[in-house]
Amino acid sequence: MRITKLLTLAMVVGATSINVALAAPSQARPVDDRVSACVEGEGHGASARGGHGVDHRDVSPREQRAIARKTKARLRAQGVTRAELRNRSVSVPVYVHVMAASDGTGDVTDAQIADQIDVLNETFAGGESPDAADTGFSFSLAGTDRFYNDAWHQDHASSKYRKATRQGGANALNIWLVDFKYLGIATFPWDYQRNGGIDGIRVHYDSLPGGGIANYDLGETATHEAGHWFGLYHTFQGGCTELNDEVADTPAQSSPTSGCPAGRDSCELPGLDPIHNYMDYSYDSCYTEFSPGQASRAQSMWAAYRG
């Protein structure tokens, strides 16, 4: 898979470097008529991956700072040290809920689900680039269930169906495979305490490996959304600011990436845009890494809210 992805990446980078001037850099990625809302909190979606506009409750700089203070206080109360976090390995149980239509549309195969788990393991282990961080997280399939319900398939009454089907505790990643206008939507770890019944990620079933959404069919929508579930912001969170995504080794960027534009630099602060980072909005084939700072943040968030 990695060789195929590298070949695809080379073609995409070449094409994008020629055509990048044709689209405004702030434009979110079109995927047919879909967008990818990213983070959900209190029933709202997050930002648009693969489409125009935003669909989320904004996480303001003030709220970011409040969450950071809360996280620090929780870690201090637990007596968790940075050394412990650096050396921690965590196995995450994954429950996959296939929300198919009554005619079987969206009824992905067990092989596709297994391939998706493989992608999560490869991407979170730093397996797609020598520059990528091993986050310390691994994933194992704990269960799969299938529902044939047209309303649930189209993500109607999502809070109701998630509360009815979710399995496991705060440490369990639940993935609902649906057909909606997004690529994916996730919840943040700090929202689990007040709304744990809907905790997890919703992913378009056709974004799994071998799916039919062009440029988003390698299974890395789930990687992106799982990043939010672990507490990572977009690399363009807050725009061109020092606060940004609160991760020192992901250069600030003013807007999401579309495609895979090599050398993109949307911000006057140091560093090129991290277009290969899983928390940007690049094509699946462009994604190759989480940074060491993101790995450290994810481990901190896990200890504070999911461990």
Average pLDDT over residues 17-35: 33
Q: How far apart are CA 185 and CA 171, in angstroms?
A: 18
DSSP SS3 for 270: coil
pTM for the model: 0.87
Answer whether residue 290 shows pLDDT above 80: yes
Starting at the edge strand that comes first in sequence, how are the strands of the sheet with 173-178 ordered? 39-40, 184-187, 201-204, 173-178, 90-100, 137-148
Judge whether residue 19 has pLDDT over 80.
no
Q: Check residue 158 and give its pLDDT.
A: 95
Report pLDDT digits (tens) over 235-259: 999 899 888 999 999 999 999 999 9
Averaged pLDDT for residues 53-63: 65
- Local confidence band at 35 (pLDDT 50, 70, 90 cut-offs): low
pLDDT for the residue numbered 114: 98
Please report, rounded to a whole number, the percentage of residues in the chain having pLDDT higher than 70.
82
**In the 8-state DSSP scheme, what is residue 80?**
-
Q: What value does the CA radius of gyration of the chain take, rounded to a whole number of Å?
A: 18
| Domain regions of the chain by residue span | 33-248+287-306
At residue 51, the pLDDT reads 53
Q: What is the mean pLDDT of residues 105-125?
A: 98
pLDDT in tens, 119-146: 999 999 999 999 999 999 999 999 999 9
More confident residue, 86 or 156: 156
Concerning whether 289 is annotated as a catalytic residue, the answer is no
- Whether 22 shows a pLDDT value over 80: the answer reads no
How far are the Cα atoms of 233, 256, 266 from residue 270, in angstroms, in the given order? 19, 17, 10
**Choosing from 40, 128, 220, 225, which is the catalytic residue?**
225
Q: What is the pLDDT of residues 154-206, one digit of tens each?
A: 999 999 999 999 999 999 999 999 999 999 999 999 999 999 999 999 999 99
Give domain 33-248+287-306's CATH number out of 3.40.50.150, 3.40.390.10, 3.40.50.970, 3.90.1150.10. Answer: 3.40.390.10
CB 187 within 8 A of CB 166: no
Quick one: pLDDT at residue 48? 56
